[in-house]
Amino acid sequence: MALREASRYFGQQQLTSLASSVGLTVPTAQVTGETSYRPAFALLQAEGQSIRWRDDNTAPTASVGMILNVGADPYPYDGDLSRIRFIETAASAKLNVSYYA
C-alpha cells in the first residue's frame, strides 16, 4: 500500500482501554488562511497484545476482525476514521495512533 504524501501532522492518541470495542477521537480540522485541513489518514500500531479492527462501524470481537499484530510496522489506514473500531485480543493491549492530512 502506498502512503499518501503527508502535508500536516495532527497529533497522536494512545488507546489503553480496549477490553470492549472503541473508536478513535479524531482531531478537529485546522484552518490556515483560506484552506481547511482535516485528518485524512492514520498510522496504527499495536503494543502489548494484538488488536482487532473493523471499519464498517461494527464492533469487532477478540476473534473477529482484521488484526494488528504486536511488533508489526505501523499500519497506514486511510478509510473513514469515524467508522473504525478496535478491541484487544488479550488483556493489556494498547493502540498507538498518529494522524495526518
| Spatial CA neighbour of 23 closest among 37, 13, 31 | 13
pLDDT digits over 34-53, tens only? 878 889 999 999 999 999 99
Angle made by CA atoms 89, 11, 72, in degrees to the nearest 5? 35
Using CB atoms within 10 A of its CB, is residue 28 exposed (0-12), middle (13-18) or buried (19+)? exposed
pLDDT digits (tens, 9 = 90+) for 66-96: 999 999 999 999 999 999 999 999 999 999 9
The predicted model gives 47-70 an average pLDDT of 97
Q: Which domains does the chain have, with CATH numbers?
A: 9-100 (2.60.120)
- Centre a 10 Å sphere on the Cβ of residue 94 and count the other Cβ atoms it contains: 17
Band (1; pLDDT cuts 50, 70, 90): very low
Can you give the pTM of this predicted structure? 0.88
